[in-house]
């Protein structure tokens, strides 16, 4: 009989509890969470009332679980646990919606909130060529020098080259790993991971001590795609894990950039294919990447989660046009272009640009009938 | 005083006369021609009434000129002269409108009309790399083997590799040269040009004996862009003559395909730039090229402007399958796939391909309910 002694817990504790029970990217639990919220889902897991086939397994994982011990454990390894309500939570992760992580463990000096503002994911094949490796290292140096954090997965090949480039430039780099943040994987990258934590952060959505698993690599890839404001694919074989990451980023309407290479190189085939099918735009230098993020960075910058103790709200930091548009939105229901032009007094062109930015910032949702306020505006 | 003794000449003779007076791509004369027609323009040149600043120069060139001697000269070098009314005139050249050539000299066995139907221009840098050379040769072999003529400019580098690939495959290749068809340029390519004439054609818009000139290379490039149903850029530096050719093709709404390469190669920079700015689509093999032309080939194939005095209508020039399909279309209303299979007696696959071609050619319209005849068929 599962314990019901957890009593009433706050939202953050509920998320941490869930992170110990639920495998990353569990769609069934995600749906439940969207409907019931974290506390209720924890209670249902504990009481065996999730209605899920794997409810029993979830409950078993929580048997004897204690949030306090989890927090202690994070401290012991020099890390911290973030949940969605945390000011440090990268705002870009909100785009994952029900597929978002329950919690994040982070070891390192970097403030993860920065990732939602100025980060680029640099991904690619493990079995990369020297050509790809040189590009990953060089561009990551350029991006880091320009003040952008380089996000990658600490794998062999392109990932490692990207981290190393950012480290060399003295910039910020973040490794999102598939196992616990204290589990060096691959083993040969233990020193690299330590260096990344020193100068940036090592991040995971699974608790410390958890091993890597095949499925966890795939779910980890969605985090890399979600965190970066853009994703750069340096080299990728066709139908590879890398192209899957890139397509996930594209599905979130993030700019995806692919580096061309010789048509004779199988490691460039995935890049070429993505340019051909419109998943990616072609990039020939780091400036192309920055051009893509500069255009799209604005929205999140505006809707940046509140800086903790600061007294300004995200809404206070909206630009005038966007603030005016948001004011002109009905409290509920949809409004179309003509309606917004009327209610805001703005030109149609400004309405279109402004709503795009508000949509990108999570303030409004676009649909066939126009726009509606999002039910949960960007968290303060 | 210029001679007025030319008397009344026919249209073809007027064009040939003009080709001896006017430099290629002369915009002022082009405008005049669109307004007055070739005979009237010849008369005005002869009588000094063009109103053009360079009218006197044009007249001087015609002093003592004789169409008969021009025809004799063409025969002497084993060539022929084509004008716009000629059935052999490549229909793709019509897209040049006022910028079209007055006449074409051709030496060789190929029927130039084929060029308007199944040709691809393969262009690129003279100072190409081995990578580009191998691609130009290989893809041209593939294109030629698939029954497409390879059009290029007989220059060093990509041009020569393209011609050689087509020749090796036993296919058709056409060199559009900047000087007279009897003026081997570059000299080192005299044997190559002879081989091209043997197996295809060497073509020029300037009369035999005329030297190459800087401006004539540029105007020649517009012909290469116009003749091919698509243009493939194998390697090009940024802001090069090659990218100018490609942009000319794109301006005529022709598919332009660019081959990616290492970002470290200046010879691929022009290709990458054109993909980035939307001038070109990225191609990684000859199949990509054929996919682009197959979709767009049909329109010209079938809706070719009528050959002047010729008695054939666009419809007469439809391929058998397409003609049969068009016959099988109901006079009005829509017909679906099953209906067309029944009424045409063609396989479903042929119906689908054929209707695509007919739709591209402006003969039928596709809709949710199948196909219907367009109300205004392609103009004769």
Listing DSSP states for B155-212 in one string gives: -TTHHHHHHHHHHHTT--EEEE-SS-TTS-SSGGGHHHHHHHHHHSEEEESS-TTPPP
Cβ contact, residue pair A261, B262, below 8 Å: yes
**Average pLDDT of span A314-322:** 74
Structure confidence at residue B296 (pLDDT): 53
- Characterise A370 by phi-psi region: left (phi > 0), alpha (psi -120 to 50), beta (else): left
Note whether A116 and A104 are within 8 A (CB).
no
Residue B106: closest CA among B187, B227, B11, B14: B227
Residue among B131, B262, B269 minimizing CB distance to A131 = B262
Q: Is B145 helix (H, G, I), strand (E, B) or coil?
A: helix
Structure confidence at residue B331 (pLDDT): 84
| Beta-carbon pairs below 8 A across chains A and B | 52
| Strand pairing class (B364-367; B370-373) | antiparallel
pLDDT band for A376, please (50, 70, 90 cuts).
Answer: low
Q: Which residues of A touch B273 (CB under 8 A)?
A: 284
Instruction: Measure the CA–CA gap between A169 and A263, rounded to whole angstroms.
Output: 31
Helix axis angle, A214-227 relative to A241-251, nearest 10°? 40
Structure confidence at residue B5 (pLDDT): 60
Closest chain B residue to the Cα of A269, Cα to Cα: B284
Instruction: Give the DSSP letter of residue A315.
Output: G
Note whether B200 and B173 are within 8 A (CB).
yes
The DSSP element (H or E) to which A71 belongs, if any, is helix A67-76
| B310 in reach of chain A (CB within 8 A) | no
- Cα B323 to its chain centre, rounded Å, is 24
Note whether B12 and B67 are within 8 A (CB).
no
Backbone dihedral angles phi then psi of residue B140, each to the nearest 5 degrees: -65, -35
C-alpha distance from A286 to closest chain B C-alpha (Å): 11
**Average pLDDT of span A160-177:** 96
Instruction: Give the DSSP letter of residue B377.
Output: P
Q: Determine the residue among B135, B139, B238, B263 to mutate to test chain A binding: the one whose Cβ has the most chain A Cβ atoms within 10 Å.
A: B263
**Average pLDDT of span A155-170:** 97
How many other CB atoms are there within 10 angstroms of residue A342's CB atom? 13
The sign of the torsion formed by the CA atoms of A225, A230, A233, A239 equals: positive
Written as one string, the DSSP assignment of A190-225 is: HHHHHHHHHHSEEEESS-TTPPP-HHHHHHHHHHHH
Q: Is A378 helix (H, G, I), strand (E, B) or coil?
A: coil
Residue among A131, A276, A282 minimizing CB distance to B272 = A282
Cβ contact, residue pair A260, B281, below 8 Å: no
| B358 in reach of chain A (CB within 8 A) | no
Structure confidence at residue B116 (pLDDT): 78
Residue B6: closest CA among B31, B56, B30, B40: B40
Backbone dihedral angles phi then psi of residue B250, each to the nearest 5 degrees: -65, -35
The DSSP element (H or E) to which A370 belongs, if any, is strand A370-373
Q: Which residues of A touch B288 (CB under 8 A)?
A: 276
Note whether A211 and A103 are within 8 A (CB).
no
Q: Which residues of chain B have pLDDT under 70?
A: 1-5, 295-314, 316-317, 360-361, 376-380
Instruction: Measure the CA–CA gap between A183 and A207, rounded to whole angstroms.
Output: 10
Instruction: Measure the CA–CA gap between A315 and A241, rounded to whole angstroms.
Output: 38
C-alpha distance from A200 to closest chain B C-alpha (Å): 29
Provide the ipTM.
0.74
pLDDT band for A314, please (50, 70, 90 cuts).
Answer: low
| A327 vs B151, residue with greater confidence | B151
Q: What is the pLDDT of residues B5-25, one digit of tens each?
A: 677 899 999 999 999 999 999
Q: What is the pLDDT of residues B338-366, one digit of tens each?
A: 899 888 888 877 787 788 778 766 788 87
The b-or-e profile of B169-202 (16+ CB within 10 A means b, else e) is bebbbbbbbbbbbbbbbeeebeebbebbbebbbb
Structure confidence at residue A80 (pLDDT): 97
Q: Please report, to the nearest 10 degrees, the dihedral formed by the alpha carbons of residues B311, B316, B317, B321 taken in order.
A: -170
Instruction: Measure the CA–CA gap between A189 and A155, rounded to whole angstroms.
Output: 8
Instruction: Measure the CA–CA gap between B274 and B254, rounded to whole angstroms.
Output: 14
Structure confidence at residue A146 (pLDDT): 87
Residue A207: closest CA among A61, A97, A55, A6: A61
Cβ contact, residue pair A261, B264, below 8 Å: no
Q: Which domains does chain A have, with CATH numbers?
A: 11-65 (no CATH), 92-297 (3.40.50.450), 318-373 (1.10.10.10)
Residue B103: closest CA among B76, B60, B73: B73
> CA distances (Å), A60 to each of A104, A175, B340, in order?
22, 30, 63
Residue A301: closest CA among A321, A317, A324: A317
Q: In what order do the strands lie in the sheet with B281-282?
A: B79-83, B103-108, B201-204, B173-176, B149-152, B119-123, B230-233, B256-258, B281-282
Instruction: Measure the CA–CA gap between B236 and B132, rounded to whole angstroms.
Output: 9
Tokens standing for residue A278: 């419109």
Note whether B237 and B142 are within 8 A (CB).
no
Q: Which range among A300-314, A355-369, B350-364 shows the weakest confidence by mean pLDDT?
A: A300-314
- Cα B51 to its chain centre, rounded Å, is 31
The sign of the torsion formed by the CA atoms of A125, A128, A133, A135 equals: negative
Tokens standing for residue A9: 């817990």
Residue among A261, A285, A288 minimizing CB distance to B260 = A261
pLDDT band for A357, please (50, 70, 90 cuts).
Answer: confident
**Average pLDDT of span A74-100:** 93
Instruction: Measure the CA–CA gap between A163 and A192, rounded to whole angstroms.
Output: 8
Cβ contact, residue pair A282, B261, below 8 Å: no
| B115 in reach of chain A (CB within 8 A) | no
Residue among B263, B284, B285 minimizing CB distance to A284 = B263
Instruction: Give the DSSP letter of residue B34.
Output: H
**Average pLDDT of span A43-57:** 95
Written as one string, the DSSP assignment of A152-201 is: E---TTHHHHHHHHHHHTT--EEEE-SS-TTS-SSGGGHHHHHHHHHHSE
Tokens standing for residue B99: 């910028």
| A288 in reach of chain B (CB within 8 A) | yes
Cβ contact, residue pair B263, A260, below 8 Å: yes
Give the count of alpha carbons within 13 A of A128, CB side only: 28
> With 70 as the cut, is the pLDDT of residue A179 above it?
yes
Structure confidence at residue A158 (pLDDT): 98
* Mean pLDDT of chain A, nearest integer: 89
Cβ contact, residue pair B260, A268, below 8 Å: yes
Residue A344's Cβ-count burial label (10 Å; 0-12, 13-18, 19+) is: buried
Q: Can you state the percent helix, strand and coil of chain A, rounding each to 5?
A: 50, 10, 40
Q: Is B287 helix (H, G, I), strand (E, B) or coil?
A: helix
Closest chain B residue to the Cα of A132, Cα to Cα: B262
Interface subset of B 117-146, CB within 8 angstroms of A: 131, 135
Q: What is the pLDDT of residues B156-200, one digit of tens each?
A: 999 999 999 999 999 999 999 999 999 999 999 999 999 999 999
Instruction: Give the DSSP letter of residue B333.
Output: S
Instruction: Measure the CA–CA gap between B181 and A114, rounded to whole angstroms.
Output: 65
Structure confidence at residue B360 (pLDDT): 67
Q: Is A282 helix (H, G, I), strand (E, B) or coil?
A: strand
| B268 in reach of chain A (CB within 8 A) | yes
| A252 in reach of chain B (CB within 8 A) | no
| Strand pairing class (A370-373; A364-367) | antiparallel
Place of tokens 């050379």: B133
- Cα B1 to its chain centre, rounded Å, is 38
For chain B, the distance separating the N- and C-terminal CA atoms, rounded to the nearest angstrom, is 41
Backbone dihedral angles phi then psi of residue A2, each to the nearest 5 degrees: -65, 150
Structure confidence at residue A63 (pLDDT): 92
| B262 in reach of chain A (CB within 8 A) | yes
Structure confidence at residue A114 (pLDDT): 79
């Amino acid at each position: 009989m599962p314990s019901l002694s957890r009593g009433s817990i706050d939202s953050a504790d509920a998320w941490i509890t869930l992170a110990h029970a639920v495998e990353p990217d569990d769609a069934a639990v995600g749906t439940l969470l969207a409907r019931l919220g974290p506390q209720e889902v924890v209670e249902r897991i504990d009481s065996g009332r999730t209605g899920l086939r794997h409810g029993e397994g979830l409950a078993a994982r929580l048997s004897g679980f204690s949030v306090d011990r989890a927090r202690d454990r994070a401290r012991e390894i020099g890390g911290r646990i973030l949940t969605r309500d945390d000011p440090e939570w990268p705002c870009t992760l909100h785009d994952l919606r029900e597929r978002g992580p329950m919690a994040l463990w982070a070891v390192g000096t970097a403030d993860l909130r920065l990732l939602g503002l100025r980060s680029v994911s640099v991904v690619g094949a493990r079995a990369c060529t020297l050509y790809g490796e040189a590009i990953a290292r060089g561009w990551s140096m350029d991006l880091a020098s320009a003040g952008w954090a380089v996000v990658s997965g600490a794998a062999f090949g392109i990932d490692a080259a990207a981290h190393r480039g950012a480290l060399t430039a003295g910039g910020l780099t973040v490794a999102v790993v598939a196992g616990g943040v204290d589990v060096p994987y691959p083993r040969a990258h233990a020193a690299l991971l330590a260096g990344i934590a020193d100068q940036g952060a090592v991040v995971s959505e699974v608790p410390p001590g958890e091993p890597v698993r095949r499925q966890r690599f795939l779910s980890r890839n969605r985090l890399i795609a979600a965190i970066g404001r853009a994703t750069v694919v340096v080299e990728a074989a066709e139908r590879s894990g890398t192209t899957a990451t890139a397509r996930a980023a594209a599905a979130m309407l993030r700019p995806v950039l692919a580096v061309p290479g010789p048509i004779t190189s199988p490691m460039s085939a995935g890049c070429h294919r993505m340019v051909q099918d419109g998943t990616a735009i072609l990039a020939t230098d780091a400036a192309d990447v920055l051009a893509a993020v500069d255009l799209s960075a604005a929205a999140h910058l505006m809707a940046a989660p509140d800086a903790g103790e600061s007294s300004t709200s995200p809404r206070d930091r909206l630009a005038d046009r966007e603030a005016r548009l948001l004011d002109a939105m009905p409290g509920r229901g949809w409004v179309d272009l003509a309606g917004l032009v009327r209610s805001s007094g703005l030109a149609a062109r400004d309405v279109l640009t402004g709503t795009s930015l508000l949509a990108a910032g999570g303030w409004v949702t676009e649909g066939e009938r126009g726009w509606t306020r999002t039910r949960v505006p960007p968290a303060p």
